[in-house]
Structure 1
Amino acid sequence: MVNQSQTSASAKLFNWLSIILLVYLVLVAVGTVSGGFKLASGGSEGAKEIFAFATNPVVALLLGALATALVQSSSTVTSVIVGLVAGGLPISIAIPMVMGANIGTTITNTLVSIGHIRSKEEFKRAFAASTVHDFFNLLAVVIFLPLEIMFGILEKFASSLAHVFVGDADLSLKSYNFIKPLVKPAVNVVKDAVSFLDSTAAGVSMVVIGIMMILFAVTYLGKLLKKALVGKAKELLHSAIGRGPLVGIGSGAVVTVMVQSSSTTTSLMIPLAGSGVFTTRQIYPFTLGANIGTTITALLAATSITGAAAEVALTIALVHVMFNVFAVTLIYGMPLLREIPLQLAEKIADIGSRNKPAALAYVLGSFFVFPGLIMLAVR
């Protein structure tokens, strides 16, 4: 028994040390993406052409959605976006990308719902519970993207708040920033490894390496956090059911911060909806809380950026937070708007339960085919 206890304690310690190491790797990766984009952009105009196709906000939105659907992680995509903004990507283009990441991340729980496809009633309940997240995020984009294009509300608000933290010397947190000395040596190792290339090629290589590092780190960070915390996360979700929407939203946010994955939070609920334990209406607030909780990764990524780019990096991270908070406040706070995602989800679930190929077509078409075709059409 003593040996088993010691083994268990050692496994837990190793698990948490691995989590710390992966968080550090995320910070290094974001710094690498930022440094690489700066190097490539400074060395040649050719590097800027990598993102020239995203000058249209609609294309940027679809690019964010498609990229997130492909890697099944909004945390990965938003961390990359933070690094690119720090490297010079315009915030006006990055904002639609972040909104697109919100749309793309919902594919995971929709795929989980397809696991119930053998039972018509189970599938109907599970598909409704998963697609309510899709329709909420789509409605949020329909409302906030035009407002952002016309008035720049999110950018102005986030920029003002970011300036408070990193703008003025007297108010700045820069002097307390211990991240840079920890991250810089590792970023320099990557930079030195590609230094034999010309500046453009070296910069692009750093961006690619950084993206791969983020993908690796976020994927395994999620797995380790699930192993460490998913039991507690389930308990929290179960205990919060029936205590009102505010508790549901708060619990969804907390669980997502715990496991670093909105997909995990929402996917935990889908089998329970499919089996009839909870209704779509009960699960709805948790999915909104997951949207808010997932923004912690971009904020974490922004801490690795220092110097002149620190403010813009924090700005795009705060845009992600505010977009989700404002969307939840407006849409869920207004009964008329609140019902739209529920009604659309129940309608598509009814169609999908009676016509299974239509449900599969919805998943493939919404997340891959339609965004890809639109991107090609508007280029």
Structure 2
Amino acid sequence: MNIEYISSLFEFAGGIGMFLYGMNTMADGMQRSAGGKMKKLLGYLTSNRLLAIIVGAVITAIIQSSGATTVMVVGFVNAGLMTLVQAVGVIMGANIGTTITAWIVSLGQLGDAAKVMNPSFYAPFLIGIGAFVILFSKKDKVKNAGEIIVGIGLLFEGLTFMSSSIAPYTDAPIFSQAFQIVGSNPFLGILIGIIVTAVLQSSSASVGILQTLALNGVVTTNAAIYITLGQNIGSCVTALISSAGTTRTAKRAACMHILFNIAGALLFGTVGFILFSIYPALAAHNITSVEISVFHTFFNITCTLVMFPFANLLVKISGLIVRENEKQDDFAELEAKDAVAAEIARHFDSRLLGQPSVAVETAKNEVIAMGNLALDNIKYAAEATQKNDQTMVDKVYEIEHKVDLYEKYLTDFLIKVNNLSITQEQHLLVKNLFHAIIDIERVSDHAENIAELAKYKIEHQIIFSEKGTQELNQLWDKVVHCFEEAVKARGTGSRQAIQNVLRIEDEVDDLEEELRNKHIERLSAGLCIPSNGVVFLDILSNLERMSDHANNIVDCIQEENTAK
């Protein structure tokens, strides 16, 4: 082996490295630019499978990997945020969305006549511009755009390196013999596609490498078809690995992905074998990069159209393959001790951390869910106090347990999210979500304090006067409204909701002071029993503190709005 062969080998290895790194960089930039939009897209899902397919295709086009999309789906199913009916549609759409990378790669085959239109012509310039933007820009959004530009440039530069390193050897017999063997043996072609994609963890990347070989005219049609079919099956490996240690339902989601792709490979593999047997000239034809893109897209769209009516059958078959098992998931031991804890823990599936923007949006949504629980606790505490209802007291204790669990799991999850590759804007949001968790938990604690006072009222048969009850109810209404608006503001960033909280909090402070003074006057006049008065004043104090915590929450949201 002379120095030229070694040099070509190094050049090919460097080309693959640049191509893979460029694709990863481009996808990371797109994910950060998309922000929480991917999570919101998934939020639009209903039982409408067609909509789920569209959403799956769009998300995969953004993150450039059907495997990554399916990992997200497994995480959402495991967390109970998505049903299997929704998941099967997203999985079908993911296979369509992944074809976008093949089309990006095939842009490089425009020929010397249109060199000025060839993306590889601009690749060095794109890398330079993108690097300049990343180094000198201070805005996260602009830096993300720079990453996307650098990624695209590196992707095409890597393709150029791979292509140029192979070009001198395209006439070598080894290439024609290798693809002749692969083309004549469908199982071998599919196996190669599976192995390469499993190693690279990306069907988009393996298709790109196949297209690079096709650019040099060494890939036969039959070999390309079989390898592409195997690449689709290989893309399932990431999701299968990810499903280890998940719930039975999440395992079924991963199982549906591989069933769908195997069914497509069997269908097209059989048709291809018959067709190539009848038309051997077509089988031996040297396929182009563009033709691979056409087949890749046609294959995935056709598979989706054919399998669409049988989606429910896929769900059923996955249930037969993945059977119920008492110790099937990591939460089994936890569920035996505390079913509520196991249910909440699933909301924070570690697979969601694979997509930082989705993880941030998930954390935000879970904080809102925690806030709504605390809001329910305020209402239950009010009813327990007003009606001396022990059932409502017990309900407050039950919700408080859930809120404490949310605090524990959300805090752990946010620590992990904060260490991910997220923007400064998202770091600020995560920091403020930490503060929101503390305030929400304290509100629930105050509700529990009031429930304890309600329990004391029940045990000592304390009844407030009609006047005192009316005054207390007036304050209750304001506090409930105040915290309700705070949770709304945390979810939407609404400036109107923020202003409502600030206004109501002032009203609560004034009313609490007024009611306290009136009650002290009644105590001084002997119109109220002292033991009753102590309970009344303690309830006032806890209510006023609740509105203070609502105010803290919106103060953080104002900081975020100012930073935008």
TM-score by shorter chain over 0.5: no
* Structure with more relative contact order (C-alpha pairs < 8 Å, separation 6 or more): 1
